[in-house]
Structure 1
Amino acid sequence: MRKIIYLVLAFVTISGYCQKAKGFELGYVSSISGSVIQDKNFYLLTAIQNDKAVSQLLENNVVLKTIFKKQQQAIGSKLKSCKDSLSCLITDYLFKEKDILSIDEELLILMKDEKALQDFVKNNLRPSGKYENFKNSTDTELLLKAWQVCTVGMNRIMKVYGLGEAPQYAKMDSVSYDVQSEFYKGSVFMWSDFLHNKKPKENALFFQESLDFSLALMYMNHRDEVERYEPLEEKENKKAIAHIKQINFDAFDYASVLILGNGPENYQDRLSAIGKLNLQLGVLEYEAKKAPLIIVSGGHAHPFRATYCEAIEMKKELMNVHHIPEENILIDPFARHTTTNLRNATRLMIAYQMPLDKKSIVVTNSSHSNYVGNANFNARCMEELGYLPAVILKRLNSTAIEFLPNVESLHQNPIDPLDP
C-alpha cells in the first residue's frame, strides 16, 4: 500500500467544553504509521507498533503468541482448502469472542505487572485524546476499551468490505464490488495470500494479520476517503491556520460559521441546489461579521463513491462566487453525516487552537436545521458516536443555531472507517 506520512497535529485537551484549549503534556508525541487510514481508525494499534518495549512485551507473551500462531495456521490452511468461499476464508481473520476474552484477560494481567504497558497508557493513549470518551476510566479500563473499539472496527471492516454486509449507511458506504463475483473472490484470495506469505514479517503482534487484511480490503475497494487531502494543515487549511493566529476572537460574537454540505445525487454536479443555498445562508451570517471564519463540512458522501468532495467544492464556490478570502475558510473534507459535520468541525477547532469557550453557529437549510435542533439528533449522536459532539444552544433563526464544541469529539470511531 502506498505510504502517506503526514504531520499529526498536536491535539489539545480541555477539562470541559467551557474552558479554553490548552496543550497536552509537554513532550507528548502522537504516533503515526505509514498509513493514515490505520492511524485514524486504530490509533492504539499504531501506538503499540511504535513502542518498542510494549510491542516486544506483547509479541513475547505466551498467550498472545499462541493466539497469533493459531490464527496464522488457520489462515494458511483456509487459503488451500476454501477455494472460492469468502466466508470460509474471512472467518479466521475475524476476532472470535473466545479470543477476545483471552486477550482481555492477558492485557489485564500485564497492566498489573508491567510498567512499560502502564506508562504506555498513561503517557501515550490517555494524552492522545483518541479515546477521549473513556477519559474517566482507569488506565486499565481505558486500554481494554480502546482494544475493544479496535476489535469491533476491524471486524466491521472485514464483514462489510470482505463479506458484503450492509454498513451503517449502506447507500453511501458499501463494498464497491459484487462480493459473489468470481473477480472479487479471486481478488480477496490473492490479497490474502500475498499478505499472509510476504516475508519478512514486520512483527508478530497478535492483531497484525487482521489489521493488515482490514486495511487491504479498504484499499481494494478504493475506500481511502479518510486519507484524501491530508495533511490538511499543509494543504487546504494552511492559509486559514496562519490567519487564525492573528484573529482577535473577542471582537466577534462567534468563533465560526459552520456551513453543512448537501451533496448532489448525480456524478455531474459539483454542488447540489440545496448545497448552494446552504452557502448563501452561511455567507449572510459571515458578512454580518458575526464570526471571522467559515468552516465548510462534507466529504465524498453523495452519490455512492462520489467524484467530488463537498467541502472542496464549497470552498471554491465561496472564493469564486462570494469572494470570501481563502484565509477565512477552513474545510472538513471527511464528514459523511450530520453527526460528523459537528464532530469534525470541533476537531478542527481543537487542533487549530480556536477558543472552545466561544460559541459558533451551524448553518444549513431550514429542513436540515430543524433536524439539528431536534432532540432526535442528540439521540442519534449518542447511538452512533457514544457522546454529543457539540452542545446545541439557542436558535437564531430558521437556518442558524448556536453551539459549543465538545472535546469528546476527538474520540476515534472505526465503526465508521471512512470517517472515524
Structure 2
Amino acid sequence: MRKIIYIVLAFVAISGYSQRVKGFELGFTSSKSSSVIQDKNFYLLTAIQNDQSVSQLLEKNMVFKTIFKNQQQAIASKLKSCKDSLSCLISGYQFNDKELADIDVELRRLMKDKKELQDFVKNNLRPSGKYENFKNSTDTELIVNAWQLCAQAMNRIMKVYGLGEAAQYATIDSVSYDVESKFYKGSVFMWSDLLHNKKPKENALFFQESLDFSLSLLYMNHRYEVARYEPLEEKENKKAIAHIKQVDFNTFDYASILILGNGPENYQDRLSAIGKLNLQLGVLEYQAKKAPFIIVSGGHAHPFRATFCEAIEMKKELMEVYHIPEENILIDPFARHTTTNLRNASRLMIAYQMPLDKKSIVVTNVSHSDYVGNPNFNVRCKEELGYLPAIILKRLNSTALEFLPNVESLHQNPIDPLDP
C-alpha cells in the first residue's frame, strides 16, 4: 500500500511541476532592505517598505495610523514606568488581539477598492513565492495570511529572545543570556530607548516599531545565522551555479545527491563521526555517477551557538579528503533540522534552475534514513512547516532515498527566525 502511495505522489508531483516550474524559471520578484535577516523572515514587510504607493496608503490610513501612534505612546510610557520588568516593556511592542483584529478587518476593506494594494499582491507577493503555501487563497486571504504570519513571528521573537520563553528546539535555538540578569534587562531597556528615542524613523508604518525591536533582539542575542554566507550565489555556490548551466542532466539518473548533516556535540570538532560517515555514504553515490552535484546541508546548529557551520565544513571535507571539485558542490549553510535540510535543498534547486521534475537522492546514516522515509517525518513537516518540503519516493538502499523537491519550500517560516 505504501509503495502505491509513493507512486501516486510521484506522478502528481512530476505532472504538476512541469506547469508550475515554468513560472519560476524567469526569476522571482524580490524586495530587499538593509537587513538580510528582515528580508528572509519578513518579505511582506520589506516589500511594503519598498513600494511607495502601498507604504503611503498604509501610513495615511486612520486605523493603521492610530495603531502606530498608540504603540509609540505605550512604549514611551513603559520606558519610564516599567523599571526593570521586561514583560512590562515588551508588551508595548507586541500586537494584542484587538490590534490584530483591527488590522485584519482594515486589510480586507482596503483590498476591496484600493488598486495599489490589489496590484501589490498580484504583481509582488504571489510571484515572489515567499508565501507559496497560501497560493490557493484569494488575493485578500493571501495578504491577510502573510500579515498574520509576520505578526505571529514578531510576537514569538519577543517572547523567546526578549522574555526567555523556550524555543521550539530550546537546546540550540534559545536566548543567549539570562533574561533575569540585570545586564540583560538593562541591555533590552537601553536598546528600546535607542530605537524609540534616538534612531530616526524612516516611516510611520504600523508594524515598524515591533519589527525594529524584534530584529534588534535577534541581533543582541547574536542570532544572525540566517544572514551568514549571503549572498550564496556570489560566494560559496558561485562556481557550482556557473557549472549547472553547462551540465546535461539527461545523462544522469538524478539531479543531485543531498547529504544530511549530523552536528558535533562539542566546540572543538568540525564534523561529528556520524557526519563524516554521512559524507562517505554520499560520496559513494556520487562516485557511481548517479548525479552531477552534491548538496551538503547544515548550519551553525549543534552545539548551542556552534562555532563551525556544518555545510561549510562538509564542503571542505569533500574537496580536501575526497578531491571533489568545488563546481560540483552546493551548500546550504542554514538548515538546523531535518525538515529544513530538505526544504533548503529544494530552495537551492529552484533558485538555481535545476530540473525539478528530475528525482534527487537524499543520503544519511541508516537510523536517520529510516526516519526520513517514515510517514512520521511527513507528519512533522506538516506540523512545523505546514507542507511537505519534498516528496519522498523509492528507497534505493538502507542509506539512500529518492525524492522530488516541492515548490512550496519557497514559503517563508519566520516562526523559526534562525532558519526561516
Contact 1:37-1:226 within 8 A present in 2 as well? yes
Cα deviation for residue 20 of structure 1 reads: 7.4
SS of the equivalent of 1:417 reads coil
**Is 1:357 matched up with 2:357?**
yes
Write the mapping of 1:236-247 to structure 2, written as runs, cut at 5 A: 236-247=236-247
Q: State how far apart, in whole Å, the 1-side matches of 2:27 and 2:294 are.
A: 32
Counterpart amino acid of residue 142 in structure 2: L
Aligned to 1:7: none
Aligned to 2:407: 407
Q: State how far apart, in whole Å, the 1-side matches of 2:118 and 2:251 are.
A: 45
Q: State how far apart, in whole Å, the 1-side matches of 2:402 and 2:200 are.
A: 54
Distance 1:15-1:155 versus aligned 2 partners, 3 A rule: farther
Aligned to 2:336: 336
**Is 1:318 matched up with 2:318?**
yes
Contact 1:25-1:127 within 8 A present in 2 as well? no
Q: State how far apart, in whole Å, the 2-side matches of 1:25 and 1:298 are.
A: 26
Counterpart amino acid of residue 172 in structure 1: I
Q: State how far apart, in whole Å, the 1-side matches of 2:198 and 2:48 are.
A: 21
Contact 1:43-1:130 within 8 A present in 2 as well? yes
Cα deviation for residue 16 of structure 1 reads: 3.4
Structure-1-length-normalised TM-score? 0.95
Q: State how far apart, in whole Å, the 2-side matches of 1:328 and 1:104 are.
A: 47
1:309-354 deviation per Cα after TM superposition (whole angstroms, max 9, x unaligned): 0000000000000000000000000000000000000000000000
Write the mapping of 1:194-273 to structure 2, written as runs, cut at 5 A: 194-273=194-273
SS of the equivalent of 1:16 reads helix
Counterpart amino acid of residue 383 in structure 2: E
Contact 2:29-2:127 within 8 A present in 1 as well? no
Aligned to 1:21: 21
Structure-2-length-normalised TM-score? 0.95
Cα deviation for residue 17 of structure 1 reads: 3.5
Instruction: Give 4+ residue runs of structure 1 displaced > 4 Å after superposition.
Output: 23-28
Aligned identity (percent) is 85
Write the mapping of 1:145-156 to structure 2, written as runs, cut at 5 A: 145-156=145-156
Aligned to 1:294: 294
1:150-182 deviation per Cα after TM superposition (whole angstroms, max 9, x unaligned): 011101100000000001100010000000000
Counterpart amino acid of residue 394 in structure 1: K
Distance 1:414-1:354 versus aligned 2 partners, 3 A rule: same
Q: State how far apart, in whole Å, the 2-side matches of 1:25 and 1:117 are.
A: 26
Contact 1:21-1:353 within 8 A present in 2 as well? no
Q: State how far apart, in whole Å, the 2-side matches of 1:315 and 1:264 are.
A: 16
Write the mapping of 1:90-109 to structure 2, written as runs, cut at 5 A: 90-109=90-109
Cα deviation for residue 199 of structure 1 reads: 4.7
Q: State how far apart, in whole Å, the 2-side matches of 1:50 and 1:62 are.
A: 21
Aligned to 1:386: 386
Q: State how far apart, in whole Å, the 1-side matches of 2:51 and 2:19 are.
A: 32
Counterpart amino acid of residue 89 in structure 1: L
Aligned to 2:174: 174
CA-atom RMSD in angstroms: 1.3
Structure 2 gap segments, 5+ residues each = 1-13
SS of the equivalent of 2:16 reads coil
Contact 1:20-1:356 within 8 A present in 2 as well? no
**Is 1:68 matched up with 2:68?**
yes
- Higher share of residues assigned helix: 2
State the aligned residue count: 407
